[in-house]
Every structure is written in C-alpha cells, then in structure tokens.
C-alpha cells in the first residue's frame, strides 16, 4: 500500500485519503501555484496507527524517499546545519475541523542548526525567534506540557524591558527566551528525524483528543475517517520586513460582496495571525507595499475560485518578496454571504441554480426572518440556554405576564423571564420582545409558542435563578432586578447584559431568489403549524401552502378564553359541560372562520382538542378562586375537582382523543364549529378547505368510535347551513402503537390522511419526557451517547425506523394515503431530508421556519 504521497501524486478528489488540506495542496501544485514542496501521509496510515495500538508509527511507514524529494526540490537538507530544511507538520482530515487537531511548525531545529542558520544568514533574531516557536510548540503539542509557563517567560522579559510587542523583542531577547524554554523542557529531542516522528505521532493522536471527538460528534463526521498528515517545507514570514503572512477570502465572507478580502501581518508567522497577537492590516496595504506580490495573489485567488466553483479561504506567506500558497479551501461564511455568493455565482455563470441551492446552509436562513445582533457590537455574555426561537431582543426584564402587558402598554420593550411558561403567560409572551426561561427544552411550551409567534426565545437557561416573588434574576455572579435591561439571542441561546445593537432583517432579493430555486425543485409541500389568524397570515406570506396543524387548544390561551376551557374541564356533569362547551364553540367557530379566510383556497387541518391537563388546570389559589367565581361554585369544590384531575404523567394522561372517548360532546362541539365556520365562508363566496385531525390515537378502535361522530356532526351542521362540501378526516400518528398498527389505522372507514406527530412520537419512543429531558440530554451529548437532541432533529434510526414501519404497513393497506408530519422536526433541514426520502406529501412547521423547510425540501430533491 502507498502510505505517502508527493504533491504531484494527488488531486482535489482524494480528500478521503489525503485530507482536505492535502488534497488541495496537490491541486494547487497541479495548477502550478507556488506551493512549498510537501508530502502527505494518508488517513489510512493514521487508522493503521490506531489499529496497531503500539504507540509507535506503523512499522511499514517510510517517508525517506519523499523527504529526499523535498530536499532536492528546496536544495536544502534536513538536519544539515549549513543549509537546513525545516518543515511544518499539520493535520488534515477529510472534512474541515478547524483548530481541533494539532500542528507543529519549524521542525528540524537544534542548537547546532540554529547556529548554522545564524552563520549562513547572519539573521540571529530570525533564528532564535524560530527556535523558540519550535520549542514552545513541540513541548505543547508533542510532549503535552502546559503552555502557560512558556508564555510567562516571554511576558516576564517584556515586562523587564518595558515593551509590549513581539516585534520589539531583539535577537538577544529571543535567545534568552530559548534558554529559559530549554530549562522548562530539556527533553525536546535534538535529532530532527526523531522530532519528525514525534510530531507525526502527535498529529495522529490528536484525531482522538476530546475537542476533536466532540467536534465530530456535533458535525456528524465519522470517527472512522482518521486524519492525514502533511509535511511541508517551511516558508518564512518572520525573517525580516520583506516577509509576512496572511489570510484571504476570494469574496467577503461576512457580506458576500464579490471583492477580494483579507488581512496581512508583515514580519510574522502564520500562527500570529490566528492568535490575534497583533492587529493585521487590510490587504489593500499589502497592495501598496508590494504591488507585484499582491497582483500575483489576486490572480491566484481568482483562478482558485473559478476552479473550485466556490468562495476560497486562502493562507499565504511571503518570504523575501516571494509568495507561497499554504492552503486553500472553501471558505466559511455567514448566512447572508452564503445567499449572496450563491446568487452571484449563478449570475456569473459559475454555478447552476441547483448547484447553488445545495450550497445554502438551510438551518441558518432564519437570519433573514428576524432581527439579529450586530456581530460587531460589544457584548457581555451572562448566561446561555437553548436557541429556542430565533431572533434577538432587548428589553427590561419583567417576571409576570401581567407586568409584561402593562409595561408594553406603556410603550416599553420588555423581556419576560419565567421559570417556565404556561398558557396563562401567552398575553405576556405576546407583549414581550422576547422570552427567557430557566427550564424547558426545544419543544417546551415556551419554545413552541414563541416560535409560533415568531418571538425570540431562549429556553432551558438552567443557570438562571428566577425568583418571581422577589422579582430577581440571578445568573452566576450577576444579580438583576425587575426593569434591568438584558438582551437575548434566540439564534444562539446567549443572554447578554444591557443593550446590544441589532440590525433589522429585510426582504432580501437574493434570499427570495434562493427560495424560488427551491420551490421549483421540491416535491414536499410545506404547510405550517398555526393556531391564530395572525399566524396563518404570517405563514402564508412566508410561503406556507396551508395549515398542517391548528392546535385547537391553543385557541384558548387568551385569559378570557382559558376560563371557559377550565370551566369545561372541571365540570362535574354533562349539562354543565355542555354550557361551557357552547361558549368555547362560539370562540372556536369565529377563529376557525378567520383562519380559513386567511388560508382561503388552501388546506387547513384543525386538530381536535389535545390539552395536556397540567397546561390547563389552574395552579395558584388566585386562579382557583377566579375559576370558582366563573363557575359559581365554592372554592373548595373547585379545589377538590382540580385535585381529582391532577395527573402524575400528564403528557401520557387524559389528553387527545381520550377526551373524545370519555366526553363525546367535546368532539361534537368541535366538529360543528369547523363545519359551521366553513359553511359561513363558503356562503360568503370563499373557498374554505378544512380538514379535521384526531390526536393521540393508539388504536384503530378509537377512530372507529370517534370518526363516525365527527362525520355525523359535520353532516348535520352542513345540512343545516345548506352547504355541500367535503371535510376530510385524518389521524395523528404520534404513539408507537399507532405506528405498529398503521394498516388498521388507515384501514379505518373515513380516515383519509395521517400526520406524524414527531414530538410525542419521540417522547414515547425514547421514553424521554418532552418537558423534562432537557435536564440530561446535554449530558448525553457531551458523553457521545447522543449526537443531537432528538426533539430537534429526527432520530432516523429509532423514531424514523418506526415511521418507516408505519409507512410500509399503511401503504400496503391503502396506497396513496396522504402522509404528513407536523412535529417540530418539520422545520429542521436534516429531518426534512428524511421525510422527503420517505415520500411524505408534506411537512408542517412553525410559520417562521417555513422558508427554511422550503429550502431544505428543495435541497432534498436536488
């Protein structure tokens, strides 16, 4: 097997074997760009090293021939003091893992060789500067010594001399540093070949350092790939003022503007730019200083971008006026830049629309829908939670929904801070600019509702100590009182002290272009989860093709409505319940008519009530008293009834269709409300397309009981109104039993569609509570037991496996049954790919995720 490649033996398509960096070095060399000679040790050799497990380099690895080639190319000799070849040893995985693995520079030095450099070049400062860099890096990377004592040596000398900058250090100072470094670590091998073997081993080992493992787990990079190692002749940016080093992008990575962009540091080594030791100069200054070098660099960046068909991130070094290209790769960029670059490249004829679409990071596209923090703004992070609903907001903190409303009415911007939110908080959430909660995950009440409202929300900020009585919020050392100002970023989950400048997101023409590409390609329909006319309107403006889930219980979140709902829940007898149901029915009819109107001509799936009891029962004495007043009963009666209804596991409790089983009158009220609203709109000349969906179904027998009741109520209502229309009925698939018996479910008379409720399905397949799993999911991720939060992204193996089973059974029984998904996963790009691959008809997601789902669905089909 071939373990070592010279640059003319590889190319850009060999990333798996030579790593991204190595493959691109080969390609640049092929394009005859000035790349310092190098050889690459393959990723397979790295795997061989781990397999052998001896702690030594694989016995079969031999790079003498290639090292000789480097010597011949450079005219230098490795280990020869008269004309020494120094090399860099760098990691390079098949996928970019910036900064995660190790690198050793300036390798091949010892006392004798340093003296040789001084003798031949007369540049003592350069020789000692380079030597101290090597000793420092080798001690850190290969020998695992603490960096700090080394840094202290340099600071001490600077302090003694009253200087601040590395540039002010003289030859004798670096010489002193070298002396001290050797005292700190007298064991750096002096044999250059031993150094080289040590460095290669260290790079191999770094594939499995904690950082790298975590990075791979978060980015879905397989552990089994291994890293390549490139060994390359050094080019020096730190010899004198005719040298320098820099990083450049073929387009602006922040705005996407098609303008060569970069930074440059004269008389410095590459690691100085990365470490931010000095502030680099803009490339324009290099253009002034060295016009020819700049012109050459400019030519190469254009050539590389055209060649790779993507924006390039380039590292270069100038040694005595000669340009060397050290690295090129597709550049990381902001959401805004990714869209602009994609659209520009299509206009320029570099990419097809389809290729450009695939370059868009769909999950970052909420940038275009919400105001975002100005990345340049100064900020003090005081806490971190989950990025539950994107956007950024600044405001005075308040601790109750009523305070939020009152303050908002006075024209103040507020952030509602709660331990967790419940339906009573809705008006406060509406009034607030943003919501911060200490508890709750990505599908907690606060998160779901906030996303629905397009309101920014940070949930699960577990370090936050919220005392709503004292009206204080403690975050670590920081103690805040009511009306203190904070800023939250629902896109990152961060919480900041005070005001942070924001930028408003606008209707971006390039973004619209990308959406159109996606729409032209995609096979999945994108519907929305919306419970109010306003949400329906927003979602439609963002491209929703209907409503896949209207949670009818959410229509009762407003204070004047929740009392009707509560009264109904605590009713002791049917007569009483019917009374309250009538009040509820009136609200519902109105709302549904308005929602149907906003979505006129498009399907609107109204789901029967699914109120987990803990979300709707009154909690405090005040609330119980208010309820007692509403229903005209003594407080004690209400208290007893509430106690009776209390459940230990409300999410597995008396909810969904179980209500319909026990209280058929609830279903009847709802079916009538839907039919009557639709009839009203129809008579007004509109084109309503309602559908009715049954939640939390476990057995076809439930449907056999409930569906005919819906049909009868609908038929009766339509007949009364004198309107003829079809209102399809379907079922949610959100429990394992329903999935396992999907054939029976879709085989039920009158069931025309199924919509997977992946929130409850995830909860019930994993046995993780939606509301509480946040407490340990983070730890699971840290320890590599979970690569991602299964409530945010579909678990294709487990939950997805069950979905596949359900689809197979359902399709065998009733081919062509309409299939959708309306859990939170409907707006998550990787999950959207999965649903596309399983031939779903639609995904349904929060209004503000509709554009993301459109792009992801387009990409899935591309």
- Cβ atoms of 399 and 465 closer than 8 Å: no
- Cβ atoms of 58 and 34 closer than 8 Å: no
**Shortest distance in whole angstroms from residue 759 CB to ligand PEP:** 3
∠126-129-130 over CA atoms, to 5°?
85
**Cβ-closest residue to ligand PEP?**
757
434/372 Cα distance (integer angstroms): 13
In the sheet where 464-467 sits, what is the strand order? 464-467, 472-475, 478-481
568/616 Cα distance (integer angstroms): 11
Which residue of the set 370, 427, 445, 580 is catalytic?
445
Annotation marks residue 822 as catalytic = yes
What's the token pair of residue 149? Answer: 């004592």
Long-range Cβ pairs for the range 349-355 (8 Å, 24+):
350/306, 350/309, 351/309, 353/517, 353/520, 354/517, 354/521, 354/862, 355/309
Count other C-beta atoms under 10 Å from residue 371's C-beta. Answer: 18
**Shortest distance in whole angstroms from residue 765 CB to ligand PEP:** 12
Instruction: Indicate the pairing of strand 87-92 with strand 228-233.
Output: antiparallel
Q: Indicate the residue among 384 and 760 with the shorter CB distance to Mg ion.
A: 760
The listed partner (ligand PEP, Mg ion, none) that binds 822, CB under 5 to 8 Å by sort, is ligand PEP
Q: Indicate the residue among 640 and 772 with the shorter CB distance to ligand PEP.
A: 772
∠676-689-852 over CA atoms, to 5°?
130
Q: What 3 state SS string does 170-223 have?
A: CHHHHHHHHHHHHHHCCCCCCCHHHHHHHHHHHHHHHCCCHHHHHHHHHHCCCC
Which string of DSSP letters, residue by residue, matches 226-288? Answer: --EEEEEE---SSSSTT-EEEEEESS-TTT--SS-EEEEEES--HHHHHHTSSPPEEHHHHHH
The listed partner (Mg ion, ligand PEP, none) that binds 758, CB under 5 to 8 Å by sort, is ligand PEP
363 is annotated as contributing to ligand binding: no
Q: Binding mask 49-88 vs Mg ion (x if CB under 5 A, - otherwise)? A: ----------------------------------------
Q: Indicate the residue among 549 and 584 with the shorter CB distance to ligand PEP.
A: 549
**Shortest distance in whole angstroms from residue 481 CB to ligand PEP:** 35
Q: Indicate the residue among 256 and 603 with the shorter CB distance to ligand PEP.
A: 603
**Interface with Mg ion: number of residues (CB under 5 A):** 3
Phi, psi dihedrals of residue 127, rounded to the nearest 5°: -60, -45
The dihedral built from the CA positions of residue 796, 760, 663 and 669, taken in this order, carries a sign that is: negative
**Shortest distance in whole angstroms from residue 756 CB to ligand PEP:** 7
Which residue of the set 427, 822, 825, 836 is catalytic?
822
Q: Indicate the residue among 238 and 758 with the shorter CB distance to ligand PEP.
A: 758
438/419 Cα distance (integer angstroms): 5
Q: Indicate the residue among 488 and 794 with the shorter CB distance to ligand PEP.
A: 794
Stretch that binds Mg ion, among 177-185, 195-203, 418-426, 734-742 (CB under 5 A): 734-742
Q: Indicate the residue among 345 and 448 with the shorter CB distance to ligand PEP.
A: 448
**Shortest distance in whole angstroms from residue 750 CB to ligand PEP:** 21
**Shortest distance in whole angstroms from residue 528 CB to ligand PEP:** 12
**Shortest distance in whole angstroms from residue 634 CB to ligand PEP:** 34
Residue 760 binds Mg ion (CB under 5 A): yes
760 is annotated as contributing to ligand binding: yes
Residue 701 neighbours by CB under 8 Å, 6+ apart? none
DSSP letter at 127 equals H
198/188 Cα distance (integer angstroms): 10
240 is annotated as contributing to ligand binding: no
Q: Indicate the residue among 243 and 822 with the shorter CB distance to ligand PEP.
A: 822
The helix (run of H) or strand (run of E) holding residue 730 is: strand 729-733
430/238 Cα distance (integer angstroms): 58
Q: In the complex, which residues of this chain contact ligand PEP (CB under 6 A)? A: 549, 551, 610, 734, 757-760, 822-823
389/621 Cα distance (integer angstroms): 32
Q: Indicate the residue among 94 and 829 with the shorter CB distance to ligand PEP.
A: 829
What's the token pair of residue 312? Answer: 């390039």
**Shortest distance in whole angstroms from residue 670 CB to ligand PEP:** 15
| Burial class of residue 618 in the structure, from the number of CB atoms within 10 Å of its CB (0-12 exposed, 13-18 middle, 19+ buried) | buried
The listed partner (ligand PEP, Mg ion, none) that binds 549, CB under 5 to 8 Å by sort, is ligand PEP
- Cβ atoms of 358 and 477 closer than 8 Å: no
488/483 Cα distance (integer angstroms): 15
Residue 425 binds Mg ion (CB under 5 A): no
Stretch that binds Mg ion, among 200-208, 411-419, 756-764, 809-817 (CB under 5 A): 756-764
**Shortest distance in whole angstroms from residue 822 CB to Mg ion:** 8
Classify 703 in phi/psi space as left (phi over 0), alpha (psi -120 to 50) or beta.
alpha
What's the token pair of residue 654? Answer: 């008396």
Residue 734 binds Mg ion (CB under 5 A): yes
Residue (of 500, 340, 318, 485) closest to 417 by Cα position: 485
758 is annotated as contributing to ligand binding: yes
Q: Indicate the residue among 329 and 825 with the shorter CB distance to ligand PEP.
A: 825
532/549 Cα distance (integer angstroms): 11
Phi, psi dihedrals of residue 438, rounded to the nearest 5°: -80, -35
494 is annotated as contributing to ligand binding: no
Stretch that binds Mg ion, among 87-95, 180-188, 231-239, 733-741 (CB under 5 A): 733-741
Q: Indicate the residue among 70 and 822 with the shorter CB distance to Mg ion.
A: 822
Which string of DSSP letters, residue by residue, matches 398-435? Answer: ESSHHHHHHHHHTT--EEEEESS--GGGHHHHHHSSEE
**Shortest distance in whole angstroms from residue 550 CB to ligand PEP:** 10
The listed partner (Mg ion, ligand PEP, none) that binds 175, CB under 5 to 8 Å by sort, is none
Residue 757 binds Mg ion (CB under 5 A): yes
What's the token pair of residue 366? Answer: 């909420």
Residue (of 266, 261, 271, 263) closest to 321 by Cα position: 266
Phi, psi dihedrals of residue 414, rounded to the nearest 5°: -130, 155
129 is annotated as contributing to ligand binding: no
653 is annotated as contributing to ligand binding: no
**Shortest distance in whole angstroms from residue 694 CB to ligand PEP:** 12
Count other C-beta atoms under 10 Å from residue 203's C-beta. Answer: 26
Residues classed as catalytic: 445, 822
Give the residue numbers of the binding site: 551, 607, 734, 757-760
Give the residue numbers of the binding site for substrate: 551, 607, 734, 757-760
Binding site for Mg ion (CB under 5 A): 734, 757, 760
């Amino acid at each position: 097997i071939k373990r070592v490649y010279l640059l003319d033996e590889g190319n850009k398509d060999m990333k798996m074997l030579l790593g991204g960096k190595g493959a691109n070095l080969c390609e640049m060399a092929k394009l005859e760009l000035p790349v310092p000679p190098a050889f690459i040790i393959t990723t397979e050799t790295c795997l061989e090293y781990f397999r052998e497990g001896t702690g030594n380099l694989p016995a079969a690895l031999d790079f003498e021939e290639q090292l000789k080639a480097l010597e011949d190319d450079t005219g230098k000799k490795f280990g020869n003091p008269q004309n020494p070849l120094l090399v860099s040893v760098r990691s390079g995985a098949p996928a970019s893992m910036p900064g995660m693995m190790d690198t050793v520079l300036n390798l091949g030095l010892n006392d004798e060789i340093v003296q040789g450099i001084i003798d031949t070049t007369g540049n003592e400062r350069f020789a000692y500067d380079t030597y101290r860099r090597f000793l420092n890096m080798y001690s850190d990377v290969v020998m695992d010594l603490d960096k700090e004592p080394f840094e202290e040596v340099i600071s001490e000398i600077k302090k003694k001399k009253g200087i601040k900058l590395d540039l002010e250090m003289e030859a004798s100072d670096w010489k002193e540093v070298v002396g001290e470094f050797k005292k700190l670590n007298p064991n750096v091998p002096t044999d250059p070949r031993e150094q080289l073997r040590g460095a290669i081993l260290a790079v191999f080992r770094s594939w499995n350092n904690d950082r790298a493992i975590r990075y791979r787990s978060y980015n879905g990079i397989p552990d089994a790939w291994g890293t390549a190692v490139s060994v390359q002749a050094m080019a020096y940016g730190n010899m004198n003022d005719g040298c320098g080093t820099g990083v450049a992008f073929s387009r602006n990575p922040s705005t996407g503007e098609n303008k060569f962009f970069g930074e440059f540091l004269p008389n410095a080594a590459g690691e100085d730019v990365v470490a931010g030791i000095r502030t680099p100069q803009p490339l324009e200054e290099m253009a002034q200083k060295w016009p020819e070098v700049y012109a050459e660099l400019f030519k190469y960046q254009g050539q590389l971008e055209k060649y790779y068909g993507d924006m390039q991130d380039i590292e270069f070094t100038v040694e005595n006026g000669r340009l060397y290209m050290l690295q090129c790769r597709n550049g990381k960029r902001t959401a805004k830049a990714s869209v602009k670059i994609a659209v520009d490249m299509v206009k320029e004829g570099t990419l097809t629309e389809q290729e450009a679409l695939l370059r868009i990071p769909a999950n970052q596209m909420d940038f275009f829908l919400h105001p975002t923090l100005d990345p340049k703004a100064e900020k003090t992070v005081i806490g971190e939670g989950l990025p539950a609903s994107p956007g950024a907001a600044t405001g005075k903190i308040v601790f109750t929904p009523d305070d939020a409303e009152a303050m908002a009415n006075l024209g103040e911007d507020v952030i509602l801070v709660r331990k967790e939110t419940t339906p009573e908080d809705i008006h406060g959430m509406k009034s607030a600019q943003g919501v911060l909660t200490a508890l709750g995950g990505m599908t907690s009440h606060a998160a779901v509702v906030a996303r629905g409202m397009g309101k920014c929300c940070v949930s699960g900020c577990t370090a936050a100590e919220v005392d709503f009585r004292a009206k204080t919020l403690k975050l670590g050392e920081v103690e805040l009182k009511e009306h203190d100002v904070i800023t939250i970023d629902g896109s990152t989950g961060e919480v900041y002290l005070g005001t942070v400048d924001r930028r408003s997101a606008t209707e971006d023409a390039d973004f619209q272009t990308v959406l159109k590409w996606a729409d032209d390609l995609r096979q999945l329909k994108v519907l929305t989860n919306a419970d109010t006319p306003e949400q329906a309107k927003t979602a439609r403006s963002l491209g929703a093709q209907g409503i896949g889930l209207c949670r009818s219980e959410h229509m009762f979140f407003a204070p004047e409505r929740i009392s009707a709902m509560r009264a109904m829940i605590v009713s002791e007898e049917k007569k009483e319940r019917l009374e309250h149901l009538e009040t509820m029915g009136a609200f519902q009819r109105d709302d549904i008519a308005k929602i149907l109107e906003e979505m006129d001509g498009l399907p609107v799936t109204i789901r029967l009530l699914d109120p987990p009891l803990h979300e709707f029962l009154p909690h405090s004495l005040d609330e119980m008293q208010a309820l007692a007043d509403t229903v005209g009963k003594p407080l004690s009666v209400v208290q007893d009834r509430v106690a009776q209804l209390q459940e230990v596991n409300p999410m597995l409790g008396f909810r969904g269709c179980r209500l319909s089983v026990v209280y058929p009158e609830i279903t009847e009220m709802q079916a009538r409300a839907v039919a009557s609203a639709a009839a009203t709109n129809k008579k007004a000349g509109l084109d309503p397309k309602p559908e009715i969906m049954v939640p939390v179904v476990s057995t076809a027998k439930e449907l056999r009981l409930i569906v005919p009741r819906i049909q009868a109520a609908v038929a009766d209502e339509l007949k009364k109104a004198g309107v003829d229309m079809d209102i399809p009925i379907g079922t949610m698939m959100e429990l394992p039993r329903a999935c396992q018996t999907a054939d029976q479910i879709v085989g039920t008379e009158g069931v025309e569609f199924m919509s997977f409720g992946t929130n409850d399905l995830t909860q019930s397949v994993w046995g993780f509570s939606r509301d509480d799993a946040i407490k340990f999911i983070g730890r699971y991720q840290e320890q590599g037991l979970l690569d991602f939060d299964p409530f945010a992204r579909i678990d294709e193996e487990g939950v997805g496996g069950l979905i596949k089973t359900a689809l197979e059974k359902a399709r065998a029984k009733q081919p062509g049954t309409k299939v959708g998904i309306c859990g939170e996963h409907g707006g998550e790009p990787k999950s959207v790919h999965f649903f596309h691959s399983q031939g779903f008809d639609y995904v349904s997601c929060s209004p503000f995720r509709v554009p993301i789902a459109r792009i992801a669905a387009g990409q899935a089909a591309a």
